[in-house]
Amino acid sequence: MIIASSGEPSLKLSTKSRTKFKKTITTTAAATKTRIHCQDVQESDPTSYSAESIGSNQDLINLIFTKLEPKHRQRCAIICKFWYSVITSRTFKYKLPPLSHLLVRWSATQSRQRSIFPAIKYSIVPLHNHQTSNRPPPQTLFRPALDFLESNDQHVNGIRIIQSCNSLFLCSPDSSIKKLNKNGAEKNNGLFPNASNVEHYVYNPGTNKFRTIPWPAVRRKTTRQVIAMNLAFDPTKSPHYKVVSLSTVRNSCSSYNQVDIYSSEKWRWRATKAEFLPNWAHVDFTNGVFFNGGVHWASHTGNTSVYFDVENEHFKIMPMPPVQGGGQRRSIRYFGESGGRLLLIDSQEQSP
Amino acid sequence: MAAETGTPTTLTLKSNDDELFSVAESAAILSVTIRNMVEDGCAGGVIPLDNVDGKTLASVITYMNGISAIPADEEKKKSYRDKFLSDKDFETLADMVLAANYLNMSCLMDAVSAKIAQVMEKKSVGWVRRKFGIENDYTPEEEAAVKEEHKWTFEGVETDDDN
């Protein structure tokens, strides 16, 4: 139960109502009577005492804020300083909406396809819809997802989700399979085997729409090898997302590392002045996690790793937990964000 | 326990403007506040509810009766709540949040808060300030800065003529 505490900042009544009801704003019982006797002026002054009590009670107004979409909630910060402080406080208890859909990854094998690698497909299944009666047959609940490549590129065997970030996905075509099929031999080129050709997509599973993210520009006589490509999106802060690219640029005489940022506000890439930290060589850049304004990467060895502060555009040191079992190298089973925390699962199997 | 004999047990609730209401105990104990009184044996006579007026209490009792008549089917309960709140104006909803808070009825509080949020969604800053009786305590410079910071939240929202 929520009880109004006297320690909260009380809100002033608007000038008009203050002169009328100055004496009766202290207790609910007294105020309810006020409300009754002020009903005849309600036409010209629509403020109700109850609404005033709610607006000045941190717990009650917080409850209403949790029901508002993030965008509408953020707008309420303009109402007054007290609301601003509630909305922007670190203790704001934002409840995530319940999970609505499940993304299912499955492989489709077709007999006429010579490839030994089945195409990867995705479907979206709603988790709760519907009336108990008239429930449609289960198979019609599935709707295809991430199927936008199938029609325009037959060489692609599927799509790879690189990262899931606050309801958006960063994906790329699974071109490693394509390359393997064509040449008949595996090339170990890391995450982005054919970097200059691989496109990236930002995909919204809610709308089934995607946008192609172009490749960051390369100057003449230089090559670019991408180290990491990650999405940074926090709908409670901004409706725009950013794609962060870490790459090594080489020309005939030198090579250097560079961070570029693509913003959905401007629809273009921009090189940053961010400098890589000395410990970056030990960092595993294949799995970036956007959390608390930064893209974080874990490290298999050592007691530090790095994250990239997207707002301020520089790298910072991230401490790593001790290696399990006293060994030298972590065996990372999971690295991700959940419920406002960064989680790392390191499971070290003891060798006999 | 309740002094009345026979089943079902009926409780008498009194609003702060001295209106009396009879309600089945099975419906009234949706309020944790009332349930505690019943369990403590202090619900024998009239239960005074000092923070709820007659008009709001009548609405809450309609809700108690309606929702307790529905068997354990969350979807039907939800659609009852939606229908129950659909014709309530902002002032009534505000009264109900305070009543639900005082009576400790979390399901009603949740539903009414969500309804208020829905009403507020497209409303202008001036409307929200008027309805909640909030005086703008920003200086014009501060307000301009906060508005600039939250510019993106204004798409599709009513604008103030008087603001």
- Show me where the domains of chain B are located: 2-120, 125-154
* B19 touches A: beta carbon within 8 Å: no
Helix (H) or strand (E) holding B75: helix B74-86
CATH topology of domain B2-120: Potassium Channel Kv1.1; Chain A (3.30.710)
- Identify which of A192-206, B64-78, B98-112 has the greatest average pLDDT: B98-112
> Residue A350 — very low, low, confident or very high, per pLDDT cuts 50/70/90?
low
What residue ranges in chain A does DSSP mark as E strands?
Answer: 101-108, 119-126, 143-145, 159-165, 168-173, 200-204, 209-213, 223-232, 242-250, 255-263, 268-271, 289-291, 294-297, 304-309, 314-319, 332-338, 341-346
Residue B135 DSSP code: -
* B162 touches A: beta carbon within 8 Å: no
Among A59-63, A73-77, A176-180, B69-73, which stretch is predicted with the lowest mean pLDDT? A176-180
Contact A156, A149 (CB under 8 A): yes
Alpha carbon distance B111, B79 (integer Å): 11
Alpha carbon distance A334, B4 (integer Å): 62
Question: Per the structure block, which two tokens stand in for B134?
Answer: 């909030």
Spell out which residues of chain A touch residue B126, defining contact as CB-CB under 8 Å.
Answer: none
The reply to whether the predicted model has a pTM over 0.80 is: no
Is the model more confident about A215 or about B82?
Answer: B82
Question: How far apart are the CA of A143 and the nearest CA of chain B, in angstroms?
Answer: 24
The stretch A105-123 carries a mean pLDDT of 67
Q: Which residue of B lies nearest to A240 if distances are taken between CA atoms?
A: B152
SS3 A126: strand
- Identify which of A160-164, A255-259, A329-333, B19-23 has the greatest average pLDDT: B19-23
Q: The dihedral of CA A75, A76, A80, A82: what is its sign? A: negative
In sequence order, the β-bridge partners of residue A270 are: A261
Quick check: A48 and B143 CB within 8 A? no
Spell out which residues of chain A touch residue B138, defining contact as CB-CB under 8 Å.
Answer: 80-81
pLDDT of residue A39: 35
Quick check: B133 and A55 CB within 8 A? yes
pLDDT of residue A188: 38
pLDDT 10s digits, B43-91: 677 899 999 999 999 999 999 999 999 887 888 898 999 999 999 999 9
Is the confidence at residue A105, as pLDDT, over 90? no
- Residue A280 Cα to chain centre, angstroms: 24
Is the confidence at residue A162, as pLDDT, over 60? yes
Neighbours of A220 (CB within 10 A): 5
* B133 touches A: beta carbon within 8 Å: yes
The stretch B99-112 carries a mean pLDDT of 94
Residue A316 DSSP code: E
Question: Per the structure block, which two tokens stand in for A26?
Answer: 């202290």
Find out whether the peptide bond into A321 is cis, omega within 30 degrees of 0. Answer: no
pLDDT of residue A177: 44
pLDDT of residue A36: 34
- A216 CB-near residues (< 8 Å, 6+ apart): A224, A245, A247, A260, A262, A269, A271
Task: For chain A, give the longest Cα–Cα distance.
Answer: 87
Neighbours of A291 (CB within 10 A): 19
Alpha carbon distance A248, A280 (integer Å): 13
pLDDT of residue A226: 87
> How many beta-carbon pairs below 8 A join chains A and B?
140
The stretch A249-254 carries a mean pLDDT of 86
The stretch A283-309 carries a mean pLDDT of 91
The stretch B7-29 carries a mean pLDDT of 90
pLDDT 10s digits, A30-64: 333 333 333 333 344 567 789 999 999 988 998 89
> Residue B99 — very low, low, confident or very high, per pLDDT cuts 50/70/90?
very high
Is the confidence at residue A197, as pLDDT, over 80? no
Cα end-to-end distance, chain B, whole Å: 57
Alpha carbon distance A273, A262 (integer Å): 14
The identity of residue A326, as a single letter, is G
Alpha carbon distance B122, B128 (integer Å): 10
> Residue A349 — very low, low, confident or very high, per pLDDT cuts 50/70/90?
low
Neighbours of A39 (CB within 10 A): 11
The stretch A325-342 carries a mean pLDDT of 82
- Describe the strand order of the beta sheet including B10-14 as a list of residue ranges: B20-24, B10-14, B46-48
Is the model more confident about B145 or about A137?
Answer: B145
Could you give the count of Cα atoms lying within 13 Å of A32 in the half-sphere of its Cβ? 21
Quick check: B98 and A238 CB within 8 A? no
Picking from B133, B132, B125, the residue whose alpha carbon sits closest to that of residue B151 is B125
Question: Per the structure block, which two tokens stand in for A11?
Answer: 């809100």
Q: Which residue of B lies nearest to A64 if distances are taken between CA atoms?
A: B113
Question: How far apart are the CA of A286 and the nearest CA of chain B, in angstroms?
Answer: 33
SS3 B146: helix
Quick check: A67 and B90 CB within 8 A? no
Alpha carbon distance A119, B47 (integer Å): 68
